[in-house]
């Protein structure tokens, strides 16, 4: 195949040859990662009716998925380690030989009538010792264009890989081969045959049947968390489902914070927070909103990077009041999935603005206010480059020292607004006991309380008990560990109202954390942890009564 003749990595070239013979694509293309390549793919998708250009947003396109392919499918995600004990009860284990044999049958001829795209990508800055390279084979142009936004992708990665560099092999197909003359679907997928399988000993990921999000963008949850968590366990670092942000006080002192929340619990909003009135002299900067790779440094501190280059954010609820920086980030050169389309050529979702008189909803149907159904899917997404984020930290590609780690979740009751752990061991215990109310980001019952240690239950690639022990072992190596906190922005009162205003006002919580990190305010010691005093909490400019504060900070119901 001429498309791979220029590859210098013989093992990779041979793998691509072997896979192509098995997959039987009609064409093969090694991705360069250029804007011209992406533009051509997107134009081709528009011509086939699989994408819609958004006239009011330069370089932006809308996709509508199959209604059966709208979220992560944890029930069909497996870790195929040599033994079930390695995967742990938190993962669905699959026998590697049996799963590989089954999936090989599924992949046989799966790309007939389609192009096989070779997508070389790097998680983390190219050439950094913190980074890892993957090569994804896929038959989805949507995946190619998304991976270009979310990772460092293309020819430069192949150059860094050289002739013998190591990589994670990622094989993906939508599982819908095309016979000659067969008309394609507007969202190719095979929801009756979905499987995402990780083979840690083989450095291999297989994904079949889904074209959506973390099921198909294999650098994200698959490599970025499940496989990377295993690498971290073996090599002495942590791969975490965390945002990364910088907080600078009015005197110019800056700290970096990593925070773990389950999906759709406000990570993106917090990572891009704009200071509210009364706190404009504080500065918040964004390094990432979803994944942090954290390494112990020689100085006894923890250092973190965001291995991604984009945001795959939940659209509903994102608006000018909740996250203006996100709106500016996706104003151009972005992809939208399962949002609504306005009559004048823009995207719309619940929370963006007052609903127009008429929309075309996420399934392509007419929609009017009061029709009885939402215009967008609850897990509708925007995919936007981090380089377009107005709050992007100037050092976003560098390892930054962590002063604080925050664990948070969506809890209507029991958990106070903020609590500081007594020490590292207690902080790990807080993270290990994290529970959150289920959201629409994954399959399951929305609202149901689910235990989610460190917000990593769906993403840890090995046994959770070993993962918790790994956290404790990392702590023992640190001369200067970050302080650990627990937060809950979603506590409700007696009338089912949120007790805390959230969004930009969450900077007040971060400011208290910042002040605790730098020893600037006292805290009330309790058996459960260290709590802020009402008088010391940064509430200036926000009318908030002692009575409401006591209800917000009450431990337990």
Q: Kindly list the catalytic residues.
A: 265
Q: How far apart are CA 174 and CA 557, in angstroms?
A: 46
Residue 429 token pair: 């215990």
**Residues 6+ positions from 229 with CB-CB distance below 8 Å:** 238, 239, 456, 459, 460, 461, 462, 467
Residue 125 token pair: 């800055």
Q: Are 199 and 98 in contact (CB under 8 A)?
A: no
Q: Are 91 and 79 in contact (CB under 8 A)?
A: yes
Q: Are 273 and 505 in contact (CB under 8 A)?
A: no
Q: How far apart are CA 142 and CA 212, in angstroms?
A: 9
**Half-sphere exposure at residue 239, Cβ-oriented, CA atoms within 13 angstroms:** 29
Q: How far apart are CA 199 and CA 223, in angstroms?
A: 11
Classify strands 242-248 and 254-260 as parallel, antiparallel or unpaired.
Answer: antiparallel
DSSP 41: H
Among 90, 408, 471, smallest CA distance to 262 is for 408
Q: How far apart are CA 47 and CA 23, in angstroms?
A: 25
**Residues 6+ positions from 45 with CB-CB distance below 8 Å:** 51, 61, 141, 142
Specify which residues 484 forms β-bridges with. Answer: 405
């Amino acid at each position: 195949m001429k498309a791979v003749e220029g590859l210098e990595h013989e093992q990779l070239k041979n793998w691509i040859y072997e896979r192509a013979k098995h997959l039987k694509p009609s064409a093969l293309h090694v991705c360069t990662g250029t804007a011209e390549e992406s533009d051509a793919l997107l134009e081709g998708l528009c011509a086939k009716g699989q994408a819609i250009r958004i006239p009011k947003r330069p370089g932006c396109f809308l996709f509508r998925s199959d209604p059966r392919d709208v979220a992560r499918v944890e029930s069909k995600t497996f870790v195929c380690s040599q033994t079930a004990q390695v995967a742990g009860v938190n993962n669905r284990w699959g026998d590697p030989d049996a799963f590989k044999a089954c999936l090989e049958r599924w992949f046989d001829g799966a790309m007939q009538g389609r192009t096989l795209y070779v997508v070389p990508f790097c998680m983390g800055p190219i050439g950094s010792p913190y980074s890892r390279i993957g090569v994804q084979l896929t038959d989805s142009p949507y995946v190619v264009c998304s991976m270009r936004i979310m990772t460092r992708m293309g020819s430069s990665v192949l150059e860094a890989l050289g002739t013998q560099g190591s990589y994670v092999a990622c094989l993906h197909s939508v599982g819908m081969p095309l016979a000659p003359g067969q008309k394609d679907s507007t969202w190719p997928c095979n929801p009756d045959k979905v499987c995402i399988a990780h083979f840690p000993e083989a450095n291999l990921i297989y994904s079949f049947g889904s074209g959506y999000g973390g099921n198909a963008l294999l650098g994200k949850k698959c490599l970025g968390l499940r496989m990377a968590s295993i690498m971290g366990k073996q090599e002495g670092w942590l791969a975490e489902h965390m945002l990364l942000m910088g907080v600078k006080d009015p005197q110019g002192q800056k700290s970096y914070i990593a925070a773990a929340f389950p999906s759709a619990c406000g990570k993106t909003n917090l990572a891009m927070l704009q200071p509210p009135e009364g706190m404009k002299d504080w500065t918040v900067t964004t390094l990432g909103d979803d994944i942090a790779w954290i390494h112990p440094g020689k100085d006894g501190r923890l250092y973190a990077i965001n291995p991604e280059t984009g945001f795959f954010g939940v659209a509903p609820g994102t608006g000018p009041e909740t996250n203006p920086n996100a709106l500016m980030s996706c104003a151009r050169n972005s992809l939208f999935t399962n949002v609504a389309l306005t009559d004048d050529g823009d995207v719309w979702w619940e929370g963006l603005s007052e609903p127009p008189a008429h929309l075309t909803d996420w399934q392509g149907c007419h929609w009017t206010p009061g029709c009885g159904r939402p215009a967008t899917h609850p897990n509708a997404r925007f995919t936007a480059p981090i380089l377009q984020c107005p709050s992007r930290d100037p050092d976003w590609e560098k390892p930054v020292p962590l002063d604080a780690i925050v664990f948070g979740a969506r809890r209507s009751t029991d958990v106070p607004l903020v609590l500081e752990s007594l020490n590292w061991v207690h902080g790990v215990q807080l993270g290990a006991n994290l529970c959150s109310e289920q959201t629409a980001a994954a399959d399951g019952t929305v609202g149901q309380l689910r235990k989610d240690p460190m917000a990593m239950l769906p993403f840890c690639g090995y046994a959770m008990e070993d993962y918790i022990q790994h956290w404790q072992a990392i702590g023992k190596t640190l001369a200067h560990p970050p302080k650990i906190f627990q937060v809950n922005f979603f506590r409700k009162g007696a009338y089912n109202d949120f007790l805390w205003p959230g969004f930009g006002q969450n900077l007040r919580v971060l400011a208290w954390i910042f002040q605790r990190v730098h020893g600037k305010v006292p805290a009330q010691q309790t058996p459960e942890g260290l709590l802020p005093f009402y008088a010391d909490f940064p509430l200036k400019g926000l009318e908030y009564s002692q009575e409401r504060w006591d209800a917000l900070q009450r431990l337990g119901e």
